[in-house]
Amino acid sequence: MASFIQLLVSGLATGAIYALIAVGFTLLWQTSQTINFAQGEFVMLPAFFILESMYLGVPFWLSALIGIALSIVILGLLFKFLIVDPMLKHGVLPLVISTIALSLFLKESAKNFYSSQAQPFPALVPSTDLHFLGAVVSTQSLVVLAVAIATVVALHLLLHKTRLGRSMQATAQNPTLARILGIPVRRMVLYTFLINAVLVAVASILISPIYLAKFTNGETLGLAAFLAAIIGGFNQVRGAILGGFILGILDNLSAAYISSQYRGAFPLLILIAVILLRPQGLLGRIEERTV
Amino acid sequence: MSRLGVIAVVGAAIFAIAAPFFLKPFGIYLISMWTVLTVAAIGLNLTLGYAGQVSMAQGAFIGIGAYTVALLTQAGWPYPVAFVCAGSLCFVIGWGLGYPALRVQHHYLAFVTLAFSTLVFLVLRNEEWLTHGVYGISGIARPTLFGWSTGKPRDFYFFSLGTLTVLAAATWWMLRSPWGRAFVALRENPLRAQSLGLDTRRYTLMAFAIGSGLGGLSGALYAPLVQFIEPNSFVLDLSFNLLLMVIVGGSGYFFGPFVGALIAVLLPEWARITEGYYLMVYAAMIMGMMAFCPYGVLGMVERAIKAVTMRGDPPTPILHAEGTSP
C-alpha cells in the first residue's frame, strides 16, 4: 500500500507534465492542423536556455523567466512564421516532414552548442521527503504536481472564462464562421502557438530536475504527448489532460507491478485498444470533416 | 512514360551499373544502402503516395525482415527461402495491423503504426532468447546464388541492384495490370473510385500490406548488407527517414522513392564536410526543401517541364495524398 501511494504520486506528477505537453500539442492541432513532431524537442530545449542564462550568472528565477520568454520567441513566433506558415497551404504531410526535420535540428543544436552529456538542473524546491501513511513522498513530486495543475487550471480559465479564450475555441471549431463573427482568426492561431511555447517551457522546468537536461529527452516526451493526446481525444483539451494522467500513472504502476522491460508497451496497447473501441479518444468528439 | 522519362531512366540505369567501378568500398556500401532503402521506400510510396495512408512502421518492417533473414539463414535455411519468408511475414503482419485501423477513421493507421513500431523495438530488445537483445546478431552471411558468391561489396551491390530492379519492375507491372490500376484510381480520386464500385477500403488495406511486404524484403537485403543487426537500427528514426524519402522524392510518383532515397543517403554524407554539424545542415536542408518544393523533387521537375512546354498555361494542381481524402 505504501509503495502504491508512492508510485501513484510520482505517476500523477509525471502525468501532469505529460498533460501540459499534450495540451499544447492538441491546441496546435485544433487551430492550425499542425501535427508537431518536434513537440518533445520543444520541451527539451528551454532547459538549455535556462542553463545557458544561469551560466552567465543570472539567478535561477530570472533565468526561468528568460527561458520562458526565449521559448515564446523561438518556439512560438519563429516556429509559426518560419516553418508553419509557409507550409500550411500545402497540406498536412509536408509540414509533418518539416517538423520531423526540425526535431532532428533542435536535438543536434543542443548537442553541438551545449553538451552531449546530461546536465544537472536545479529543482524548484530542495528535495525533502514527506512521510504520509507510511509512504515516502518527495516534496519535489508534490510541487511538480501543484505547478502543473495550476498551469492547466489557468489555461482552462483562459479558454473558458474569458472572451479571448472563447474566441480561440471558436477559431478551433470553425474558422470560417469565427471569421464571419469578426474574430481575428490569424491572431487567435498565433496565440495558440505562444501558449504552446509557454506550456512546453513550464514542462521543461518541471521535468529537467528529474530527468536531467539532455538533448535526447525529447524522444520519449514527444511520444508520450502524442499518445496522451490520442488516448484522451485529439480534439479536446480535457482529453489531453486525462490522457496525460492515465499515461503517467500507467507508466509507473506497470513498471512496478507487471514488467519493467515492457513498461513502454502498456501505453501502446492502451492506444491500440482506444483506437479500436473509441477512435475519437476517451473524451473526444467525432470529427466531421468536410469533403 | 514520355521520351524524356525513358532517357532519364536509361541514363540513371547506366550510371547505377557503372558507378561501383569508380567508387571506394564505402561508396559502394552507400549505393548498396540506397538500393536497399529504395525497396522499402517503393513499398511506402504505395501506402502513402497511392493509398494516401501515413505509415510510421516501415522501419519496423525492415527490422522484422532483417531479423527473419538473419535468424533463418543462421538456422541453415537457404537465403532465397528466407527472403520470401521475410516478405510474406511482413505482408501478413501488415494486413493484420491495417485491418482494424482502416476499419475506423482513415488517419488512424498513422497512430497504430507509430505504436506498432515502438512495440517491435521492445520485442526485439527484450526477447533475448530469440533476438539476442541489445547484443544484436552479427556475422550474417551474404548469400551465394547458383555458385555466385556475393561476399564482396561490388558483387553484393549488383545482387541488391538486381533485386531492386526486379521488385520495381513487378510493382510497375502491378500498377499497370487491370487489378493494380485501382491503386492509381485511389491516388487520383478516391471518391470517384468508390462511386465506380471499387472497394476502396480493401484496396487501401492491400496497398498497406504490399507496402509492408516490400519493407520486409528490404530488410532481407539490409541484413546481409550490414552483416550486423541490432534493435536500435530499427527505431522510429528509420521510419521517419523513409517517410522523408518518399515525400522529398515526390509521393505518388513511381520514381519518387529512387530520388528520395538517393537524397537521404547521400545528403548527410556530403554535409559531413561541416564536421559535427552535418545532421543540423541536413535537417535545415530538408526544411528548406519542404518549404520550396512540398511536392518533392519530381513534383517540382514535372511543374518545371509543364511550365516550359505549355508556356502560359498554369500547371495543373497535382492531387496530393492528404488533400484528396474525402
CA angle A182, A184, A189 (to 5 degrees): 140
Whether A102 sits inside 8 A of B322 (CB atoms) is: no
Res B38: pLDDT = 94
Q: Which residues of B touch A265 (CB under 8 A)?
A: 118-119, 122
Whether A276 sits inside 8 A of B280 (CB atoms) is: no
> What dihedral do alpha carbons A28, A34, A38, A42 form, nearest 10°?
-20
Res A1: pLDDT = 66
Give domain status of residue B325, yes or no: no
Across the interface, of A96, A102, A262, the residue whose CB is closest to B283 is A102
pLDDT at B320 over 60: no
- Between A218-222, A234-238, B169-173, B311-315, the lowest mean confidence (pLDDT) is in B311-315
User: How many distinct structural domains can be found in chain B?
Assistant: 1
Range B147-161 average pLDDT: 84
Contact A11, A244 (CB under 8 A): no
Q: Using CB atoms and an 8 Å cut-off, which of residues 44-83 of chain A contact chain B? A: 83
Res A290: pLDDT = 36
- Between B195-209, B230-244, B292-306, B310-324, the lowest mean confidence (pLDDT) is in B310-324
A94 touches chain B (CB under 8 A): yes
* pLDDT band with cut points at 50, 70 and 90 for residue B87: very high
* pLDDT band with cut points at 50, 70 and 90 for residue B291: confident
Give me chain A's average pLDDT, please. Answer: 84
Contact A41, A223 (CB under 8 A): no
Res A204: pLDDT = 92
Res B122: pLDDT = 86
Which residue in B300, B306, B273, B303 sits closest to B288, CA to CA?
B300
Whether B108 sits inside 8 A of A279 (CB atoms) is: yes
Res B92: pLDDT = 95
Domain of residue B50 covers: 3-309
Which chain A residue shows the shortest CA-CA distance from B49? A93
Please tell me the pTM assigned to this model: 0.82
B316 touches chain A (CB under 8 A): no
Contact B75, B298 (CB under 8 A): no
Res B322: pLDDT = 42
| ipTM for this prediction | 0.80
Give domain status of residue B326, yes or no: no
Res B323: pLDDT = 39
Residues of chain A with pLDDT under 70: 1-2, 133-134, 285-291
Contact B84, B140 (CB under 8 A): no
Give domain status of residue B33, yes or no: yes
pLDDT at B324 over 80: no
Range B254-279 average pLDDT: 82
The full length of chain A comes to: 291
Query: Which cell goes with B219?
Result: 530488410
B64 touches chain A (CB under 8 A): no
Give domain status of residue B314, yes or no: no
Task: List CB contacts of A71: < 8 A, sequence separation 6 or more.
Answer: A42, A45, A46, A49, A197, A198, A200, A201, A204
Res B312: pLDDT = 53
Q: Which residues of B touch A285 (CB under 8 A)?
A: none
Interface test with B, best of A84, A98, A234, A286 (most B CBs within 10 A): A98
Query: Where does residue B299 rank: exposed (0-12), middle (13-18), buried (19+ CB within 10 A)?
Result: buried
Contact A43, A200 (CB under 8 A): yes
Whether B119 sits inside 8 A of A265 (CB atoms) is: yes
Query: Which cell goes with B49?
Result: 503516395
Higher pLDDT pick, B242 / B115? B242
Give domain status of residue B315, yes or no: no
Give domain status of residue B35, yes or no: yes
Across the interface, of B114, B115, B122, the residue whose CB is closest to A262 is B122
State pLDDT tens for residues B184-221: 887 777 788 888 887 878 888 888 999 999 999 999 99
Q: What is the DSSP string of B113-163?
A: HHHHHHHHHHHHHH-HHHH-GGG-EE-PPPPEETTEE--SHHHHHHHHHHH
Interface test with B, best of A37, A81, A88, A96 (most B CBs within 10 A): A96
Which residue in A193, A184, A189, A239 sits closest to A72, CA to CA?
A193
Distance in angstroms (rounded) separating the CA atoms of residues B61 and A33: 28
- In Å, what is the CA distance from B205 to each residue of A290, B50, B93, B194? 23, 11, 12, 14
Q: Which residues of A touch B128 (CB under 8 A)?
A: none
